[in-house]
């Protein structure tokens, strides 16, 4: 599985948009640690939860 993110990237969790925009803190294997503006720090299994890059246009 390829994770197309790196620490510092901004993402959203489309299944939980209320979490707001998150910033990736670290990526270890398939575990992505994201600090969401409305939901705090979450460790996400990238094989289960699909994150989308946040595009601030």
Quick one: pLDDT at residue 3?
A: 75
Quick one: pLDDT at residue 55?
A: 83
Nearby residues of 17 by Cβ (< 8 Å), 6 or more positions away: none
Read off the pLDDT band of 16 (50, 70, 90). Answer: very high
Beta bridge partners of residue 53, listed in sequence order: 11
Domains annotated on the chain, with CATH: 10-53 (2.30.30)
Question: What is residue 45's three-state secondary structure?
Answer: strand
For residue range 28-45, list pLDDT tens digits in order. Answer: 999 999 999 999 999 999
Read off the pLDDT band of 4 (50, 70, 90). Answer: confident
């Amino acid at each position: 599985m390829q994770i197309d993110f790196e620490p510092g990237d901004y993402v959203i969790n489309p299944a939980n948009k209320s979490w707001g925009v998150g910033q990736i803190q670290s990526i270890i294997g398939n575990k992505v640690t994201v600090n969401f503006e409305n939901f705090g720090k979450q460790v996400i299994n990238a094989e289960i939860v699909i994150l989308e890059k946040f595009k601030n246009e």
